A and B are shown apart, each in its own frame.
Chain A
Amino acid sequence: MIQNLFRLLAILVSIVLAGAAHAHGFQVGELKIGHPHARAMLPGAKVGGGYLTITNNGSADRLLSVKADRAASAQLHEMKMDGGIMVMRELKDGIAVPANATVELKPGGYHVMFMNVSQPFQEGEMIKATLTFEKAGTVEVEFVVGPAAGGAAEMKHDDHAAHAEGGK
């Protein structure tokens, strides 16, 4: 009986933690911004990559720009690997978010490029940023800074949970 109670408690705790893990998200209009995260920057590095997921439950929109106090500017980029060559392209017109679709900004594809960052992002920090969408308007988000070694996209759920309270 007591064992069963413990088991139930363990299940409840894990549900709460799992909930917290997904709590790091933001919403503006019909757009859900999932788990913005960045990679810790190395000493001497002036740029940092930012990643997130945009789930659009409404009509077509467009991510136009990103601003962050910690970076002199932020651009939207598309990285492409073309025959073993890395090509980075700035997306001046932003990133289209089609109706009822999910767009991922992730390593190896679309990403936010924080430029001229004076204080390198450190693991565990939260980087405040403002996303501007063509129709939905602006939304304040926070990027969780993961390890410099990358693998940020596959961050363990424990990591999410640890930072979840910052996500509000």
Chain B
Amino acid sequence: MTVRNPAAIAFAGISALFVAILIGVMAWVGIDSPRTGRFDASFSLVDDRGNPVDQSMFKGSPSLVYFGYTHCPEVCPTTLFEVAGYLKELGEEGMPLKTYFFSVDPERDTPEVMHGYVTAFTDRITGVTGTPAEIRKVIDGWRVHAAKLPGADGDYHMSHTMSLLLIGADGRLKGLLPYGADQDQALEKIRDTLL
């Protein structure tokens, strides 16, 4: 390779650039979707009964995990009603499943507020809240999205990931259920991935 062909150099340069762009795109897409691997953050939060919870909650049992907030007029209640429906349909078969509703708005969602809210759906959903910094560790740990959008008069709304996370007993993400998923398909996916 002593011949310095300018065309070859140009070609190599273009190839390198192309590969760099490809890696960039892959990284960008990867960042945008929830983590498929192991959850490796540590956190310290409280459930809706005031009991402390930490990262060990994702291990030992498969779980359905949702990020939302109680000041959410539509997608959160719809999803949690659907989750309650899945648990009912699964019956005995679904008993190993844990269900967690993490507040992305912990400043307004106190354990008391969360308790009244989650128990309205079923007795199987555990609400989780705490300090914004600790909640952020879970949001970032699963690479889901949650952001505050300021509104009028100091009010605000949250934008957040609408998918339900399906997490295996090994603490790894096994799949996602999109908002508005068909119940039969959702049950099939839960059975396939978690039960």
Contacts and interface: CB of A to CB of B under 8 A. Distances in A.
Interface of A: 39, 42-49, 73, 75, 77, 79, 81, 83-90, 92, 107-108, 111, 113, 115, 148-150
Contact of B159 (A39, A43, A87, A111): A87
B77 A39 contact: yes
Given A47-B71, A111-B73, A150-B77, A88 B116 contact: no
B70 A75 contact: no
B90 to A, nearest CB: 18
B162 A75 contact: no
Contacts of A83: 32
B159 A85 contact: yes
Contacts of A113: 73
Interface of B: 32, 70-75, 77-78, 81, 108, 112-117, 119-121, 145, 149, 151-153, 155, 157-163, 176, 178-179
Given A44-B116, A149-B81, A86 B70 contact: no
A73 B60 CA distance: 45
B14 to A, nearest CB: 31
Nearest to B109: A44
A148 B149 contact: no
B119 to A, nearest CB: 8
Given A85-B145, A150-B81, A42 B71 contact: no
Contacts of B162: 81, 84-86
Nearest to A87: B159
Contacts of B151: 75, 90
A45 B71 contact: yes
Contacts of A42: 70, 77, 116-117, 120-121
Contacts of A75: 151-152
Contacts of B115: 44
Give the residue among B32, B70, B114 with the most A Cβ atoms within 10 A.
B70
A17 to B, nearest CB: 29
Given A44-B116, A85-B160, A149-B81, 13 more contacts: A39-B73, A43-B117, A44-B70, A46-B108, A48-B73, A75-B152, A79-B74, A81-B162, A89-B149, A90-B151, A115-B155, A150-B74, A150-B78
20 contacts: A42-B116, A42-B120, A42-B121, A43-B116, A43-B119, A43-B120, A44-B113, A44-B117, A44-B120, A45-B73, A45-B77, A47-B73, A49-B73, A84-B179, A86-B160, A86-B161, A108-B74, A148-B120, A149-B78, A150-B77
